[in-house]
Amino acid sequence: MTLTRSTAEVAASGSAGRPGTGRAVVFLVLVALAALVPLLGPSLALHGTGEAAAPGVGGIALLRGVLFAALCVPLGELSVDRLARRLPDTPVERPHSWAVFAAVAGFAAALGLASVVSTGNLVPRALADVDVGGLYRSWDGRLALLEVNAFLLAAVSARSRRPATQVWPLAAVAVAEALRAHPAPEHDALAGSALTQHRSPLNCGVTFSYDGRAHVLVGAYTGEGIVLRPTTDGRLEHVRDLRLHDNAVKGVAASGDMLFSVCADGSAAWHSATTLQTLKVLPNAHDRIANGCVGLGGGRFASVSRDLTLRVWEPDFTVTVLKTPHTHSIKCVSSDDTGRFVATGAYDGHVAVHDLRTGAWHTTRPTASGVSSLAYDAARRLFLASSYDGRVHEIAVEAAGEPR
């Protein structure tokens, strides 16, 4: 006896039993959503903090996401294959492997990340900016080269008769990423290594004298002021933590016998540099997020915020609000050693220097990348403005009082 179905029934059952198209659509949607995490994640994480994202952070995060996926796909395949071999009646035919494609994608991502490391962790603007030889001279560079070569070897291993051998280069990539993300703490400032650690990011710092010794006050994103002091063997020891604010500390400064701090919630606080006790807290000291402050001497301070103003604070906690020439959010502030000239730097690359004696402003734009920080060089009588492209620019203050 032969059982048959009508053509309409066969067509209906065939379309219902073909899940390939739906799976492909779901896969593409998941890939698109996964790509949005590194592309939009950094800007969302920094939203409302007053901080600007570093150049190319979205692209770099995307490359790291591709590298992580390229590591997971072949390792997942190897794990499933090993598990399948242990099961009874396992079909001989195996699904098509994506290991080679994943290794090639990982190789490309690792190569892109290595080019960033070769330029000092900056996005290269041209091929000539990539210093391949420089990768061998730094720890991060050698790790980046290891990852590039490991993915290349993984691709070759995946095409060989023993694809399981790719687990070794993939393990090398995992170890290299662990070493890159968790460098061993050392005690060498020239190497950029760790001297101390805290539970939240550290944002700002200032030196001051306490109990007859030099100390450092470091502002943290969780509102603490971490007091440290150097030891005789060149290390830093923790003295105590001060509760400066309830939100991220965006700037700390010292002047006279007072410590001054500003917060992401717009507040400002004064503490005694001799007793470390709280003197004054102003919850609404700024109209928007405060981004930095500096000591002017004699118990006077200056602060900047996203409201495009410069505030000058007197020892009695009164303030003078000065409108600046900036049209974009002010990121940082510094002062010369006399407290007369105050420099402000903005996210659009402008630096404005204000003469507190005459009231004059002088504005220049040394960079289009945005000014990340300002400092004063007393020996050469000029301000140093670092920008988000990794460069340092000089803004001179002449004896006549007018900056160039």
Residue range 24-72, pLDDT digits in tens:
788 778 877 877 777 777 777 666 555 556 667 778 888 988 999 999 9
Instruction: List, in sequence order, every residue forming a beta bridge with 384; answer none if it has no partner.
Output: 375, 394
Find out whether 303 and 261 touch, Cβ atoms under 8 Å.
no
Domains of the chain: 27-87+96-181 (no CATH), 200-396 (2.130.10.10)
Q: What angle do CA 239, 244, 247 make, to 5 degrees?
A: 125
Q: SS3 letters for 274-294?
A: CCCCEEEEECCCCCCCEEEEE
pTM of the model: 0.60
Residue range 309-360, pLDDT digits in tens:
999 999 999 999 999 999 999 999 999 999 999 999 999 999 999 999 999 9
Residue 221 token pair: 């994103």
Residue 321, CA distances (Å) to 10, 282, 308, 314, 345 in order:
80, 15, 10, 12, 17
Q: Which of 78-87, 271-280, 335-344 has the lowest mean pLDDT?
A: 78-87
Find out whether 151 and 103 touch, Cβ atoms under 8 Å.
yes
Residue 374 one-letter amino acid: L
Residue 350, CA distances (Å) to 48, 276, 326, 374, 398 in order:
21, 36, 7, 12, 19
Max intra-chain CA distance, the chain: 110
What is the rounded (10 degree) CA torsion for 367, 288, 374, 275? -170
